Chain A
Amino acid sequence: MKATCHREGLLSAFQVASGVVPQRSPRPILRSVKLVFSPPDQATLLATDLEIGIRYLLSGIDVDEAGSIVLPVGETMSILRELPDERINLRAGDGGVLIEAASSRFELATEDPQEFPDVPEMGSEPAHRTKAGVLLGMIRRTSFACASENSRYALHSVLVEFEEGRFKFIATDSKRLAIMPGAVEVAGEVPEGNWLLPPKALNLITRVLADPEEEVSFVLRDNEALFRTGKVVIYTRLVEGRFPKYQDVIPPEVNFQIPLPVGPFYGVVRQSRILTNDESRGVDFEFAEGELRLESRASQLGQSEVRMPLGYSGNSIGVTYDPQLLIDALKVLDPSEEIRLELADNRRASVFRTRDDYAYVVMPLIRDR
């Protein structure tokens, strides 16, 4: 293998890849990336941590001789950063890879490319299409609601579902549930299935996607999912297991509909959280005509009462929430937006809905009133 590449282009590919490659691993080859050169002018950079992976297409490379090499991420990135040259030569030599520039020469001991774990490719199969902005919004509004790593593993994931013209991301940790739909151009029939994406993969997508107008195509296979945008393909393995029947927690009837402006509501919830602690985490929300009153009380700390004007003119209702659960969701919403709180009563799940069909379901804390 022999090629000449643009140093900065290669460096930025390495920077994207380094987000995937684990910093610590028992095997040096797993702290490396693989480069596959194909004539006349292309190379693909592959990086993986065995759960997620990335394929980054580099062009504008003079490939003299096709082939693959494996490069250690840390050292190679330092070399690329330190070299002043615009173009560098890469060559597979005896027992290692040579990186040559005008006045420098590095010989890296490397591993056998055949031993590098494969990163699957997006084939010619039909792919669904959406916009980067849509996908990013869906990730931002759902991934925080996943359960932590050490709980049931199906909950440490985001569920993907399809309906006519839309797809949905759903996440829950059993105390709250976030559902965000987005427009999609489905390839073929509306797919039916149960795909669970690990949060790690969603993080990577967030880091790689920049332009919201960019088109993203994706395929969901039995065991893996692939997302492609421009020159990057992101690969992830899916999570095993069954996602809970989340529809069942949303009460069928709505007895109270309360409009809430995100900015001011977020403000009062943050205030009311101050005087709460682990023993008394609940804040009492009293929705009344024209006014919302929040009360919190914590032994040893004290108590608080916060008021906010409310454009609501129905029956009063008092509900107790863990303010942190509301804050998590309010944080990712636009402060100028108005949302609607839908309640059946103060014991069953409450649903916060936005105009763009985002639903955030919170279980109230039960308190005797």
Chain B
Amino acid sequence: MPSKPREKKKSAVNRVPAVETREIPLVGHARVLEQLSEAITKGRLGHAFLFVGPDGVGKHRLARHIAQSLLCERSDVRKLQPCGQCSSCAMVRAGTHPDLLQVAKPEEKSELPIAMIQALTAQLSLKPARGSRKIAIVNNADDLNEESANAFLKTLEEPPPGSLLILIARSLESQLPTIQSRCQVARFFLLSDDEVARILLDLGKVGSAEQARLWAHAAQGSVAKAIEWAKPEWQELVETMVESLAQQPITSHQLTARLLPFIDEAGKESASKRERARLVVERLLGLLREALRASCGSFDSGEPGIPAGRLDVDLLADMIERTLDTDYHLQRMAAIPLSIETWLDDLARLDEGRHLDPIF
């Protein structure tokens, strides 16, 4: 019977990255795959891994691939190439496999609550349902608070037989040393533009190879960002940004008035707003970076951008530095409207040739 996805309901229990119904080929991260496949071949697969790397490069995708390979009923585990046909594979894809557990930070929270970790360890304490393995994927491991991390330590150190735990995180530094020391670390790096473009095409997110290349370049190695930035609302926003920055004086007030509602639309929760705000900052940073490259006579992506020669190299460097500061402020929970407003005002001031008051 053909299936039709039901309307997505927001669940308070859990937020797990969207289900992929189609099998798309795995792109990139050959080194991590090699490392894992070698460990499996030698029968020395560790019981806990920490996948560390930037957002949107496929850490979760790869973790699920590993899980599917280990749970697949037909193919040889060592090849890490699930058959995609058996009922285990179907259940892994649908997110219903009883031996694949996943937790992720709920959208409205800024931390991964202890209750979710307790539920996960309780489920891991059951014997496997279908085969001999149980796999747990912990997304957003950066957001484990101390309580949740400690609740997890015992399981992480000595998981029940047949378990494999995969923690997914942005940075190694944000992990408690006690967690770090119990995991094998696999590092993920940003994808190349070609790789991102290929994934965009595989996913059917873009119409042409040309567009795929354009967004891949703008996204700087992250598929998630490329997908986000290919959306019409982001394209419109970029046009406004370019318009504002293209002339002197920079119309910082208008731009603020345009950006703040856009950030507000991200959701009710401040966590999602903050995420959107950081993306906005990053998007504008991309434009400045592109302008810097153009003024050095480097690669021209063909993307609409700040006219070449409008801002000189020194000025761009200062503006980029101020923008990076803003990202840091947002990351450290500074008020969003305040951060955005002062940032854009400061860019305008820099453009007028003034110096900035030191902010630290």
Q: Interface residues, chain A, CB within 8 Å of chain B? A: 1, 24-30, 48, 50-51, 67-69, 72, 92, 94-96, 109-118, 149-150, 153-154, 156, 198, 222-224, 237-241
Contact = CB atoms under 8 A, between A and B. Distances in A.
Contact of B6 (A28, A69, A237): A28
21 contacts: A25-B14, A26-B11, A29-B94, A30-B96, A50-B98, A51-B126, A112-B2, A114-B90, A115-B90, A115-B94, A116-B96, A118-B130, A149-B118, A153-B121, A156-B122, A222-B127, A223-B127, A224-B129, A237-B128, A238-B126, A239-B126
A50 B129 contact: yes
Given A24-B13, A150-B118, 12 more contacts: A26-B16, A28-B6, A28-B9, A50-B123, A51-B98, A68-B1, A95-B2, A109-B4, A112-B90, A117-B97, A149-B122, A240-B126
Given A50-B123, A149-B122, A27 B94 contact: yes
Contacts of B4: 95-96, 109-110
B93 interface: yes
Nearest to B154: A152
Contact of B161 (A1, A68, A117, A240): A240
B28 interface: no
A240 B3 contact: no
A115 B3 CA distance: 10
Interface of B: 1-7, 9, 11-16, 19, 87, 90-91, 93-98, 118, 121-123, 125-130, 160-161
A240 B87 contact: no
Nearest to A240: B160
A92 B1 contact: yes
A109 B3 CA distance: 8
Where chain A touches its partner, the secondary structure class is loop
Nearest to A69: B1
A223 B129 contact: yes
Given A26-B95, A112-B94, A118-B130, A239 B125 contact: yes
A118 B87 contact: yes
A239 B123 CA distance: 9
A117 B91 contact: yes
A26 B123 CA distance: 16
A58 B161 CA distance: 38
A28 B94 CA distance: 10
A46 to B, nearest CB: 12
A237 B87 contact: no
A222 B161 CA distance: 13
Contacts of B121: 153
Nearest to B119: A149
Contact of A153 (B1, B87, B97, B125): B125
Where chain B touches its partner, the secondary structure class is loop
A311 to B, nearest CB: 46
Which of A1, A115, A239: most chain B CB closer than 10 A?
A115
A260 B360 CA distance: 77
A17 to B, nearest CB: 16
Nearest to A118: B87
Contact of B1 (A1, A25, A154, A240): A1
A144 to B, nearest CB: 19
A26 to B, nearest CB: 4
A113 B1 CA distance: 8
A26 B96 CA distance: 10
Given A24-B13, A95-B3, A198 B96 contact: no
Nearest to B127: A223
Nearest to A154: B125
Nearest to B125: A153
Contacts of B93: 115
A162 B118 CA distance: 32
B13 A25 contact: yes
A30 B12 CA distance: 15
B1 A112 contact: yes
Contacts of B2: 94-95, 112
Contacts of B14: 25-26
Contacts of B127: 222-224, 237-240
Contacts of A116: 96
B3 A110 contact: yes
A67 B90 CA distance: 18
Contacts of A114: 87, 90
A69 B129 CA distance: 22
A183 B104 CA distance: 46
A237 B96 contact: no
Contacts of A241: 125, 160
Which of B11, B122, B125: most chain A CB closer than 10 A?
B125
A276 B13 CA distance: 38
Contacts of A238: 126-127
Contacts of A113: 1
A239 B96 CA distance: 20
Contact of A67 (B1, B98, B130): B1
